[in-house]
């Protein structure tokens, strides 16, 4: 077993990317792949997508384990993303490079021309990668608001967002965090965020930090409202009752106007530095992950006896519902000691009264809905299919609220001991969207995550709406979700991919969601990791 020397964080920026979009600029994203042998490449990480930008500086860092004794061949690929699918095969390739991790860590700044294929340059495009060892497990938590920002938009107010830069040893400014955009607001309050201390300032409290506030424009030509310089020592003075304020200065305006004061005030409401615990710290510290399945038995799936039904079990004994249960369950079951999984159906008429039920136990035993292992869920599903009538409507909220009750009970214990993952498999025709929004916002305050796998060919717009990736999900009353807990994946994209691709995509968010919940609560692992003495 190779000994992992350290974890490394890679910062990526590109210049002069090819322009593949008609009428606007490309929307680039960078993906990091590692050589998996036999000509195959495995994806390790990807950055965010930046809209309308040919010179992107990505704020999401790519993290990789660095083994001194291994040649780690890497491939960086830059794509123009014009759709919501995870698969990059349907996106324009803007170029890439192959190199080794050793080459990157041994150069202070590693810049290479992008190539469309070996020997064919991607125009004048270049990629710059810099590496930093992750040595410090502490995290900076910041809460920031602003007031009286300059109005930059002709018709409305500004759409402000923040960018934090640290000064590198070479004197360059490197992006460490970019906030969300708050639309049409000169007195914005950004949501609380965290950045690893290492990323934020390399662990040096006196390292210069530059904060820029800009007005977001959808075409990528953001206008600077103003900026200021500070360091973590100054920021850290902000406490609950004593915020720290900075004048936001626009150098152009300052030069033009003698009477210029500032372009607004940026207010650091709180700045805390805490030890960061990882997903493994929680799991190895005794956190159990409880897995529940909810299966859609509504009429829109089609008659299970008919080969074009989504519930039709093919001669080789499978359908998309079963593949999804196996793919996700086989990974999650390792984190649950008793291997007993509650499994429910919804949207069918069930015997003997033939009433429609929105949460019935697959084993028809409401007082003990547990199935033994993933095989137990599969067996119960196969047995129940001929005994029920597919009906409707498609209501998600009862089963979400059912799991939320257990999660709420676990949360009352006040420790990081139980986390709940609900897998809903559906053909996507949701009926109770408003109640489901309400249920998700409520559940976002509890130790639970929801995974929705969409099977079949339906329009999954409602599912994508519930997955808060394009903005924060809000309840009907406007209450925002405390954190993003829904991950939606259309099965269609993974039909021809290996089984593990679906489970990787579906479960990718769960560790982050688990950590984000316990972090919000301020709960350490039940058993703290031993600190190794140097």
In 3D, which of 421, 485, 490 has the Cα closest to residue 453? Answer: 490
Q: How far is CA 389 from CA 177, 206, 342, 377, in A?
A: 52, 67, 21, 19
Phi, psi dihedral angles at 165 (to 5 degrees): -125, 145
Q: Is 530 within the bounds of a domain?
A: no
38-77 per-position pLDDT tens digit:
788 889 999 999 999 999 999 999 999 887 667 789 999 9
- CA–CA separation, 317 vs 381, rounded Å? 12
Q: Is the torsion defined by CA of 275, 278, 280, 283 positive or negative?
A: positive
Q: Is 526 within the bounds of a domain?
A: no
Query: Is 303 in the same domain as 317?
Result: yes
Q: What local confidence, expressed as pLDDT, does residue 1 receive? A: 31
Structural domain range at position 442: 293-521
Give the max Cα distance, the chain: 84
Q: Is 460 within the bounds of a domain?
A: yes
> How is residue 480 annotated by DSSP?
B
> What is the distance, to the nearest Å, from the Cα of residue 178 to the centroid of all Cα atoms in its chain?
15
Query: Is 96 in the same domain as 129?
Result: yes
- CA–CA separation, 340 vs 380, rounded Å? 13
Q: Is 534 within the bounds of a domain?
A: no
CATH code of 345's domain: 3.40.50.410
Query: Is 351 in the same domain as 491?
Result: yes
Q: Please identify, among 241, 275, 309, the residue that sits at the C-terminal boundary of a domain.
A: 275
Query: Is 199 in the same domain as 316?
Result: no
For residue 7, the SS3 value is: strand
Query: Is 370 in the same domain as 488?
Result: yes
For residue 485, the SS3 value is: coil
* Tens of pLDDT, residue by residue, the chain (534 residues): 334 457 889 999 999 999 887 777 899 999 999 987 778 888 999 999 999 999 999 999 999 988 766 778 999 999 999 887 788 888 999 999 999 998 888 776 899 999 999 999 999 999 999 988 887 778 899 999 999 999 886 677 899 999 999 998 888 999 999 999 999 999 999 998 989 998 999 889 999 999 999 999 988 889 999 999 999 999 999 976 889 999 999 999 999 998 999 999 999 999 999 887 888 788 878 888 899 999 999 999 999 999 999 999 999 999 999 998 988 888 788 778 788 999 999 999 999 999 999 999 999 999 999 999 999 999 999 999 999 999 999 999 999 999 999 999 999 999 999 999 999 999 987 899 999 999 999 999 999 999 999 998 877 887 877 876 556 788 888 898 988 899 888 888 887 777 677 877 778 788 889 998 998 888 999 987 654 433
142-155 per-position pLDDT tens digit:
999 999 999 886 67
| Count of structural domains within the chain | 3
């Amino acid at each position: 077993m190779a000994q992992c020397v350290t974890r490394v964080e890679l910062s990526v920026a590109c210049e002069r990317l090819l322009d593949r979009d008609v009428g606007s600029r490309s929307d680039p994203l960078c993906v990091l792949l590692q050589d998996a042998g036999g000509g195959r490449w495995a994806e390790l990480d990807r950055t965010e997508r930046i809209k309308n930008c040919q010179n992107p500086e990505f704020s999401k860092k790519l993290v990789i384990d660095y083994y001194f004794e291994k040649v780690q061949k890497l491939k960086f690929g830059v794509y123009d993303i014009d759709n919501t699918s995870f698969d990059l095969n349907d996106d324009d390739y803007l170029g890439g490079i192959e190199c080794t991790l050793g080459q990157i860590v041994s150069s202070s700044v590693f810049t290479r021309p992008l190539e469309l294929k070996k020997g064919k340059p991607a125009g004048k495009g270049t990629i710059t990668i810099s590496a930093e060892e992750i040595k410090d497990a502490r995290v900076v938590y910041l809460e920031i608001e602003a007031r009286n920002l300059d109005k930059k938009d002709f018709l409305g107010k500004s759409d402000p967002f923040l960018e934090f830069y640290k000064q590198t040893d070479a004197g360059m400014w490197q992006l460490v965090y970019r906030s969300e955009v708050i639309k049409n607001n000169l007195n914005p309050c950004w949501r609380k965020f965290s950045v690893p201390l290492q990323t934020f300032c390399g662990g040096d409290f006196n390292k210069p930090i530059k904060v820029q506030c800009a007005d977001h424009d959808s075409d990528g030509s953001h206008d600077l409202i103003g900026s200021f310089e500070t360091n973590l020592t100054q920021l850290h003075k902000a406490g609950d009752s004593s915020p720290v304020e900075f004048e936001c200065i626009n150098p152009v305006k300052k030069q033009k106007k003698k009477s210029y004061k500032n372009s607004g005030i940026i207010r650091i409401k709180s700045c805390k530095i805490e030890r960061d615990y990882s997903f493994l710290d929680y799991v190895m510290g005794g956190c159990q992950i409880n897995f529940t399945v909810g299966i859609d038995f509504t009429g829109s799936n089609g008659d299970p006896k008919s080969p074009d039904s989504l519930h039709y079990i093919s001669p080789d004994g499978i359908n998309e519902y079963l593949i999804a249960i196996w793919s996700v369950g086989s990974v999650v079951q390792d984190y649950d000691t008793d291997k007993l999984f509650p499994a429910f159906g919804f949207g069918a008429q069930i015997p003997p009264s033939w009433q429609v039920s929105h949460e019935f136990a697959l084993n028809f035993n409401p007082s003990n809905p547990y199935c033994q292992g993933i095989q137990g869920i599969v067996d119960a599903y196969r047995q129940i299919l001929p005994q029920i009538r597919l009906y409707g409507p498609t209501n998600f909220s009862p089963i979400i609220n059912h799991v939320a009750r257990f999660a709420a009970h676990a949360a009352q214990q006040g420790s990081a001991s139980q986390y709940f993952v609900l897998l809903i498999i559906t053909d996507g025709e949701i009926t109770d969207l408003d109640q489901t929004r309400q249920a998700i916002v409520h559940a976002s305050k509890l130790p639970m995550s929801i995974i929705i796998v969409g099977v079949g060919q339906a329009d999954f717009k409602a599912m994508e709406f519930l997955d808060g990736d394009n903005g924060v999900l809000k309840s009907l009353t406007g209450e925002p979700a405390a954190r993003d807990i829904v991950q939606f994946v259309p099965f269609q994209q993974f039909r021809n991919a290996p089984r593990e691709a679906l489970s990787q995509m579906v479960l990718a968010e769960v560790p982050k969601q688990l950590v984000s919940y316990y972090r919000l609560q301020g709960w350490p692992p039940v058993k703290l990791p031993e600190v190794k003495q140097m």
